[in-house]
Structure 1
Amino acid sequence: MAPSSTATSLPVPVAPIPSIDALISRRAANRTFKHFAASITDGAPKNFKPHPKPLALSFGRPNAQYFPVKKITVEVDDYPFQDTLFKNEERSQKPVVIERYPEDSELLGTGEALQYGNIVGLPAFHKFLTNFVQRIHSPAYDDWEVTASNGAGEGLNKVADALIDPGDVVLFEEFTFSPFGNNVRNVGGIPVPVKIKFQKEEDDGISADIDVEYLSHLLENWDELKPELKGNKPKAFYTIPTCQNPTGLTQSPETRQKIYNLASLHNFIIIEDDPYGYLTLPPFAVPDVESLKKHDVSIDDYLQNHLVPSYLKFDTEGRVVRVETFSKVFAPGLRLGFVVGHRKIIDVIKKYSSIVTRAPSGPAQLLLLNIIDQKYGGIDGWLEWILKMRLAYTHRRNVLISSIVNSEAYKLGYIKVVSCDAGMFASLLVNFPQGTDNIQKINLLNYKLLQHGVAVVLGHKMAIDEDFSEGSSNFLRLSYACLDTDDELHEAGSRLSTAVKEFFDNGLEY
C-alpha cells in the first residue's frame, strides 16, 4: 500500500540531518555496564595467543544435563476458535516436539533455552526477529537493529529510559494507552496531548484520525501556544497508529508520511507502539460464518494491499523506534516482544537490559520459535496464522457491531460507531446534546451500563489531559476480543444498546 502523492504536502527539512546522539537521554548515554567475566584478555602481553579450544572453568551457568526438562511435546491449534468458527476445516494432528539437543541445528532446544540467554534474545530467536522485520517492515535506512523485550510494556519503559530526560516533552494522542504516560512521567518527561478528530462520513458513519493540521500548527507556534514550555519543543511523539487504543482509528499511509515529515522538520523521535498492526480487517458486514473465508487473502496480497506500512517504512533518518509484542498474535503470558530502531538507540536499550531485566524468558522464546518453525514452517506460515486470526476477529467484530447497529438506540441516533478496520477495539460515540458535560454524563451512563450487566472503558479514562479532551470524551471503548461465544458478544451489544436508550429516554439521568 504505497503512500499517495499528497503524503508529502507538509514541508520537509532542508537542513542537515541532526545526530541521533542528541535524541538519546543523558541518563542512557552515560550508563555503563561491567561484568567480571567480560574482556578477560584486556591488557594481554603483545605475543599472547588464546588457546583455540579452551575449557571454561569461569562460567557460573549449570550444564544442561542438570535441567530436568528433557523433551516438551506441544499440541497446537490450526485455527483460532477451531471448534466453532472453523470446525469444518481440515486439521493436522502432528504435535510440536522440542528436544534438549535437536538434530536440526536450526531448531532451538531446551538445553539452550533453559540456560542463561542473550540480552537481545537467543541467537535463533534474534535471527527470526531480524528476518521478520526485513520481510515485513524493513526500515528505509541500513543502520538499524532489533532487540527482544519482555513484552510491549517493558519495551516501552526501556524506550522511555533511552530517550527522555527530565523536562523533555513527549506528544501523545489525546486518548491513548495511558500506562505509557506513567513511563514518561517516571523518567521526568512531560506529556502533552495532540488532537484526534472525529468526522462524519458520506454513509453517515464516523471516522477518526490524528489531526495533522493541529499538530503542525502546534509545532510551528510552540512558544506562543505553550508559553509554559517556551523553548522546550517536543523530544518525541508516542503513537499507536493501527487500531489506536482506545479510539480504534487507523492512520492512513498519508497521515504517517505527514507526521514523519513533521518529526524530521522539528527534530523529534516517533515512538511507534503497534500491538494490533497485523490485524487489519475488511469493512463491517452482516456476520456470516459460511462466507467468512471469502475475506481470506494471500500473503502477498495481505502485505501489499491490507497491511498498513509501519513508520519504519518512511524512516530515512533513524528517528522511529518501533515497539512490538507477541501478546495479541500469540499469547500475553509469554511476556515476549521486541524493539526496532537505530543501532545507537538499541545499544543503550541493551545496556539498560543488562542491568535491569537481563534476557527475556528462554522458555517463552523456545515455545514460540518451535511452534513457528515446526508447526507453521517459518515466517510465511506464521503470517498464515495471523491471517486466520484476522478472519476470526472480523467475524467477532461483525457480531458485536451488528447487534448495536440494529438496536433502537442506534436507529434513534443516540450512538454512532467509529469505523473499526483493525485490531480488537471499536469506539462508540454517544450523541449528547451540544453543551453537555461529557465526562459527567458518560460517568452517569456507565452506572446504567453496569446495571444492565455490560462493562466498557470510558473514553476520558484514557485521556492524557481530561480538561483538554472534555469536548471529545463522549465515547466508549468496546473490545470484541475477550468474550467466549457469538451469543455473548450479541448479548453484550444488546445490553449496551438497551442501557443507552433507557438513559436517553430518562433525560440523560440514571
Structure 2
Amino acid sequence: MAPPAAIEVEAMTDTQSISQSTPTTFPHKTESFYRRRAPTDNEPKSQWGTAAPATSAQFKHSSTKGKPLARRWDDLLTPETKARKGSTLKAAAGFLSRPGIVSLGGGLPSSSYFPFAQLSVTVPAPGAFSERETSQSGVQLSADKHSLQTGQSIFDISTGLNYGQGHGAAQLLRWVTEHTELVHAPPYADWGCNLTIGSTSAIDMALRMFCAPGDAVLAEAYTFPTFVEASRPMGLRTVGVPMDEQGLEPGAVDGILEHWNPAAHGGARKPRVLYTVPTGQNPTGATMGEERRRMIYEVCCKHDVYILEDEPYYFLQLPTYDADATTQTEKASSHADFLAGLIPSFLSMDVQGRVMRMDSFSKVIAPGSRVGWVTGSEQIMERYKTHVDCSTQGPSGFSQIVLFKLLEEHWGHGGYLDWCKYIRSEYTERRDVIVRACEKHLPRDIVSWVAPKAGMFHWMKVDWKKHPLAASWTHQEIEEQIFMAGVDHGSLVTCGSWFYADDDVEEEQMFFRATYAAAPFDQIDLAIQRFGEALRDVFGLQNQIEEL
C-alpha cells in the first residue's frame, strides 16, 4: 500500500532519546517504514486475515545486532500469570491461514450476517486539524466489508468485526510497533507491543501479573486514583513516594527501598514494582526531566524494581510558561525537531526490559476509542496476551478499523505527529489561560502554583494553616470547607486528598487540582475567579480581585 501523501521525508536524530550505552541516532525517517515494508503485492493476505496471529517481531525494522536481550522476569511473575495458558481456540485460529483449509472448528460467525456493508467517518485533512477546517475540508474515510479480498485494503469489516487475537488486529499492531520504534527506539532486542482497551485495563492486568496479595507497590505520593482503586481490592498496599516539581524524588525512592521495614508496612515485602506517570502527572502536572528519569531508572536497577510507565500525556509536553507572552503558538518544526524536543521515555533508556510502557489514544484522539498499547519484553508481552485472551480480548473492531483508516491509510506516521503537534499547541494555549486566570484572580498570599509543563492539570497549593480556625480544625475539615465553598460559588475543583497513594499519610500540605482540558476559555477564567472568591470567603480575606 502506498504511503499517505502527507508524509514528510526527513533525517531523524535525537541524542537524548537513546540510552547512553546505545547509538545516538533514530533508526528511521517517518516515511521509511513504508519503503522498508514488503510490497503490498508480496504480502500474504493470510497475515491480515480473521484472527491472524501476529507479534511485533514481524513488523520491526531495526536490526537487533549488538543489542542486549531483556532479562527474564520469572521471579516477578505471579502464580496466576504463570498458570495462564491463553485461549486454546485462539491458538487454533492460526491454522486458518493454511491454503485450502476448510474450517469447521472455530466459533467465528459468517461476516455475511454482519449488518454493516460500509463504515464511513469524516476526519481532518493533514495540517487542517481544527473543527472549523474539518467541517470545510474534512476527508471521508470508508471501510468496506470485503476490501481485503478485493485487494483494496488490508483491513475490512469482515475481518475487523470478527473475533480476533488478544494482541489486537495485526494491521493496527504493525502501526503501533512502527510508531514505538520511531519515537522510543527501545535499546534492547526482544521488545514487543500488545494492543489494549486503554491504560486502565493495562494497569489492572499488570498488577495481576506482577503483584500478589499482601505486596506493596510504589507510586507518586499523589497518584491516579484508579490505580489505587484497582490495587486495594487485590490486597495490595500502595506506598506514596515524596514528590517535588519534577515528580518522584530519586533519593526518596532509594531511601524507602534501602530501609524497607515489612513491620511498618503491614508485613509487606520490599516492593518490586513502581507505578509512575512521568509526564504531566495526574494530578500534580509534574514532569520528570531526562536526568531525573535516568536517576529513577538507576535506583530501580539497584533494587530490582520493575517500572510501570503510564504515559497518556507524553505528546502534551508544553513549552515553558511565559507570563509576558500574549499567546504561545506552536513553532513550525520538522518531525525530527518535534521528537528531539520531547523528554526521553523510560522505555527509550531501558536496556534490561524492566519497563512496561502504557500508551493510549485517549488523550490525543478520543477516550471512547478504548484503544491503547503496552510495550515490554517479549516474555512479558506473551504473558500479557494470555490475560487478554481470557478476559477483555482485543479492542473493539469498530475502533480498530477507524483508527487504522485514520492512522495508516490517511495520516501515516508523519501526519499523526503533525496532529500531536497541533494538540500540543491547543493545550499550551489552555494552560496559559488557566495560569493567567490564577495570576489575576487568586489570593497570592495563601495560594501558590507552578505552571504545568505537560498534560492537562493545574495543581494549586493552599496554605491552610493561615485559616482562621487552623488551630482547632483539621486538615480534612478545612479542605472540605474550601471544596464546598467553591461549589457554592459555582466552581468545581478536586481535593488533593482524593489522590493520596497512601491513606495513612499525615499530610502537612493542602492542594487542589483544576483541569484546563475542556472548558471554554472564558469559563476557565470564570471558574478560577469564583474559586478565588470562595478562598477569600473561607479565609476571611478582603474580597477583591488582585491585579496582574
User: TM class, shorter-chain normalised?
Assistant: 0.7 to 0.9
Partner-residue secondary structure (3-state), 1:21: coil
Equivalent-residue separation in structure 2 for 1:294 and 1:345 (angstroms):
38
Equivalent-residue separation in structure 1 for 2:240 and 2:512 (angstroms):
19
1:13 corresponds to = none
Partner-residue secondary structure (3-state), 1:478: strand
What whole-Å deviation, never above 9, does each CA across 1:305-331 have from its counterpart, x for those lacking one?
2x1111111111111111111111111
TM alignment of 1:448-463, pairs within 5 A: 448-463=485-500
Tell me if the contact between 1:208 and 1:418 (Cα under 8 Å) persists in the aligned partners.
no
What whole-Å deviation, never above 9, does each CA across 1:129-185 have from its counterpart, x for those lacking one?
111111112222111111111111111111111111122221111100021123222
Give 1:286 deviation, angstroms.
5.4
1:220 corresponds to = 258
TM alignment of 1:6-17, pairs within 5 A: none
2:88 corresponds to = 35
Give 1:81 deviation, angstroms.
4.8
Partner-residue secondary structure (3-state), 1:259: helix
Partner-residue secondary structure (3-state), 1:349: helix
1:134 corresponds to = 181
Inter-CA distance 51–23: structure 2 relative to 1 (3 Å threshold): closer
Tell me if the contact between 1:236 and 1:270 (Cα under 8 Å) persists in the aligned partners.
yes
Inter-CA distance 91–2: structure 2 relative to 1 (3 Å threshold): farther
Taking only aligned residues, the RMSD between alpha carbons, in angstroms, comes to 3.0
TM alignment of 1:414-433, pairs within 5 A: 414-433=446-465
TM-score (structure 1 length as normaliser): 0.85
Tell me if the contact between 2:199 and 2:360 (Cα under 8 Å) persists in the aligned partners.
yes
- For residue 154 of structure 1, the aligned residue among 170, 193, 201 is 201
1:97 corresponds to = 142
Tell me if the contact between 1:252 and 1:308 (Cα under 8 Å) persists in the aligned partners.
yes
2:429 corresponds to = 395
Inter-CA distance 498–422: structure 2 relative to 1 (3 Å threshold): same
Equivalent-residue separation in structure 2 for 1:240 and 1:95 (angstroms):
36
Equivalent-residue separation in structure 1 for 2:429 and 2:78 (angstroms):
44
Partner-residue secondary structure (3-state), 1:406: helix
What whole-Å deviation, never above 9, does each CA across 1:399-455 have from its counterpart, x for those lacking one?
121111122513xx2211223011111101112337774333222111111111011
2:26 corresponds to = none
Equivalent-residue separation in structure 2 for 1:375 and 1:71 (angstroms):
17
2:502 corresponds to = 465
In the alignment, residue 120 of structure 2 is paired with which amino acid?
T
What whole-Å deviation, never above 9, does each CA across 1:180-203 have from its counterpart, x for those lacking one?
123222333221111113xxxxxx
Q: Which runs of 5+ in 2 are unaligned?
A: 1-13, 22-68, 544-548
What whole-Å deviation, never above 9, does each CA across 1:99-152 have from its counterpart, x for those lacking one?
223365554221211111121011101111111111112222111111111111
2:272 corresponds to = 235
Partner-residue secondary structure (3-state), 2:329: helix
Give 1:257 deviation, angstroms.
0.8
Runs of 4+ in 1 over 6 A off after TM superposition: none
Partner-residue secondary structure (3-state), 1:310: coil
Corresponding position: 1:25 with 2:78 = yes
Inter-CA distance 381–507: structure 2 relative to 1 (3 Å threshold): same
Inter-CA distance 226–251: structure 2 relative to 1 (3 Å threshold): farther
Number of corresponding residues? 471
Equivalent-residue separation in structure 2 for 1:39 and 1:115 (angstroms):
15
Equivalent-residue separation in structure 1 for 2:93 and 2:401 (angstroms):
31
Partner-residue secondary structure (3-state), 1:482: coil
2:478 corresponds to = 441
Inter-CA distance 487–32: structure 2 relative to 1 (3 Å threshold): same
Tell me if the contact between 2:330 and 2:422 (Cα under 8 Å) persists in the aligned partners.
no
Equivalent-residue separation in structure 2 for 1:462 and 1:315 (angstroms):
28
Inter-CA distance 104–482: structure 2 relative to 1 (3 Å threshold): farther
Give 1:73 deviation, angstroms.
1.9
- For residue 488 of structure 1, the aligned residue among 512, 517, 523 is 523
1:371 corresponds to = 406
1:297 corresponds to = 333
Partner-residue secondary structure (3-state), 2:214: coil
In the alignment, residue 173 of structure 2 is paired with which amino acid?
H
Tell me if the contact between 2:310 and 2:358 (Cα under 8 Å) persists in the aligned partners.
yes
Corresponding position: 1:110 with 2:157 = yes
Percent identical pairs in the alignment equals 28
Equivalent-residue separation in structure 2 for 1:343 and 1:460 (angstroms):
38
Inter-CA distance 457–104: structure 2 relative to 1 (3 Å threshold): farther
Equivalent-residue separation in structure 2 for 1:160 and 1:476 (angstroms):
28
- For residue 244 of structure 1, the aligned residue among 281, 284, 289 is 281
